Structure 1
Amino acid sequence: MATILDEIVEQTALDLEKRRKKVSFKDLESHEMYEQPVRDFKGALNTPSDVSIIAEIKKASPSKGLIRRDFDPRRIAGQYEEGGASAISVLTDQPAFQGHLKYLKEASEEVSIPLLRKDFIIDPYQVKEARAYGADAVLLIVTITEGQQLEELLHATREFGMQALVECYSEEDFNRLSFDIVDILGVNNRDLRTFEVDLHRGVGILQQAPEETVLVSESGLGSAEDLYFLFNEGIHSALIGEHFMRRPNPGEAVGAMKQELQQLINHTS
């Protein structure tokens, strides 16, 4: 029986072929943002004194439906930067998350901090497409790749001058990785096959990575206490979307969480 993830990836492949017929791989280079300087995503995340925040622009999800009705990606991106986010994740998957590539472009025009394209990337075309719309990094999900597919996507990421956040769901995913080419590792605490969240499982996988790897905890995070737990476990960064997107001013929510985290850290130091 096909899972939600299987269905999303199947739809992604169909939509990709439609876009490829409209805009060729070569023609992506004509986009105005293709040649703009790439911002250092990895460097932005690696903040030893606390846990950096990748704040997500996310309109909806398959499990929660519409998350934010008042949705203005450009304004939200600006608020995130003002609130102290280290980087911004932009969901571009349309069928399941009501995302769009234009949201990525709008955010890139608005902010100076690095942008991550979050989507179900299965082809180098999508990596180059991300660069053309202003992304500095892409999310690569190990569990939806087969054979040499992940290595090919990582090669494409480097070819276009970008960086990759490589996301695992399981020990099996982790064991497939070569840390010669993976230097930013994420674990999604929410299993996309069941949508259950387990923060401790994610941390346990991350802690097996080499010391120089930047570690990112993703999904199910919603408090300064969550970030403080990550800080004590040696995790560098947290990707948070829904918690911020449900607040009147997402950027102020980022700032408040960062302030609370520092108070927790200072109280025990």
Structure 2
Amino acid sequence: MNILDKIVAHKKSEVAAAKKRFSYMFLEESEYFTCPTHSFKEFLTAPDRTGIIAEFKRKSPSKGVINDDVKVEDVTMGYNAAGASALSVLTDNHFFMGRKRDLTKARLVNQIPLLRKDFMIDEYQIVEAKAIGADVILLIAAILSPEQIRTFAALAKSLGLSVLLEVHNLEELERSIESNLDAIGVNNRNLADFTVSVETSYQLAKHIPEEFLKISESAISNPQTIKELKQAGFNGFLIGENFMKEADPGKAMAEFVKEL
């Protein structure tokens, strides 16, 4: 069993417990549930923004604890001020030290799109994402069937959420594309063994239909890489660890952006 299998197995029990604690009706009574969402596409393509989806992440299974000394409000406001097009907030607790309230805290102090970064395996999590203040959800092709992707994406769109589909190879891309997606993210990190290579993005770029935003995820630590990815047709660049490993992630992003 690889790390992705372990995460999914744990997530199933986690979601089952959440359903017992908070009903759908409870989630739908959240103050955020009826709020309009921020457009992922609008912010990613805005000329005054960088295209960077800056991530708040305390820990990862591959690196261990990255940074647990900073506040989500401070980091995300720093990212926003540095020109982030969107903010990604890890909400998985067991493997990433994330919390659902991290996303809500980020929502209180930012008016740009928020991506709930988690392992979505149940419709409940999508309703929950809207309830805690998310604008965008992540669907990972490696852990979902094409039918699940269709169902989850349709539900997300009905709630006003944007949908980012994450793929790792051409097979996942070809079997998963459907009309309710907004963006295709190429994860340069192999979730089975956590090795990284930005070449994955270049290889898949030409296979992503033009109607979808193209996002490159992970393994981006150099501004030059973003320049080259833009030339390959990418609109967005998810960066987390490169900023989070610094004492002041927002400042680290601001310095990075100066070189763009």
Normalised by the shorter chain, which TM-score bucket? over 0.9
Please give the per-residue CA displacement for 1:194-223, whole angstroms capped at 9, x wherever unaligned.
111110122221321122211000011111
Whole-angstrom CA distance in 2 between matches of 1:111 and 1:47: 17
**Contact (CA 8 Å) 1:197, 1:220: kept in 2 or not?**
yes
**Contact (CA 8 Å) 2:24, 2:124: kept in 1 or not?**
yes
Matched, 1:100 2:106: no
- SS of residue paired to 1:176: helix
RMSD: 1.5
Over 6 Å off, 4+ runs: none
Matched, 1:8 2:12: no
Alignment partner, residue 132 of structure 1: 131
Matched, 1:165 2:158: no
Q: What letter is aligned with 2:29?
A: S
Whole-angstrom CA distance in 1 between matches of 2:137 and 2:115: 5
Please give the per-residue CA displacement for 1:80-125, whole angstroms capped at 9, x wherever unaligned.
1111111100000111101010000000001111100000001111
Whole-angstrom CA distance in 1 between matches of 2:165 and 2:187: 10
Whole-angstrom CA distance in 1 between matches of 2:75 and 2:139: 24
Taking a change above 3 Å as real, the CA distance of residues 207 and 258 of structure 1, as seen in their structure-2 partners, is farther
**Contact (CA 8 Å) 1:50, 1:231: kept in 2 or not?**
no
Alignment partner, residue 43 of structure 2: 44
Which range moves more in the overlay, 129-138 or 172-181?
A: 172-181
Whole-angstrom CA distance in 2 between matches of 1:161 and 1:256: 34
Whole-angstrom CA distance in 1 between matches of 2:22 and 2:225: 42
Please give the per-residue CA displacement for 1:129-160, whole angstroms capped at 9, x wherever unaligned.
01100000001101101251111110110111
The 5 A counterparts of 1:1-269 are 2-47=1-46, 52-261=51-260
TM-score, normalised with respect to structure 1 = 0.93
Whole-angstrom CA distance in 1 between matches of 2:36 and 2:123: 20
**Contact (CA 8 Å) 1:83, 1:254: kept in 2 or not?**
yes
Whole-angstrom CA distance in 1 between matches of 2:214 and 2:83: 19
Which range moves more in the overlay, 233-242 or 203-212?
A: 203-212
Whole-angstrom CA distance in 1 between matches of 2:254 and 2:131: 30
Whole-angstrom CA distance in 2 between matches of 1:243 and 1:213: 26
- SS of residue paired to 1:148: helix
Taking a change above 3 Å as real, the CA distance of residues 217 and 32 of structure 1, as seen in their structure-2 partners, is same
- Paired positions, count: 260
Whole-angstrom CA distance in 2 between matches of 1:10 and 1:90: 21
Whole-angstrom CA distance in 2 between matches of 1:217 and 1:31: 32
Aligned-residue offset at 1:181: 2.6
Whole-angstrom CA distance in 2 between matches of 1:207 and 1:89: 25
Q: What letter is aligned with 2:154?
A: H
Q: Which runs of 5+ in 1 are unaligned?
A: 262-269
Whole-angstrom CA distance in 2 between matches of 1:86 and 1:131: 19
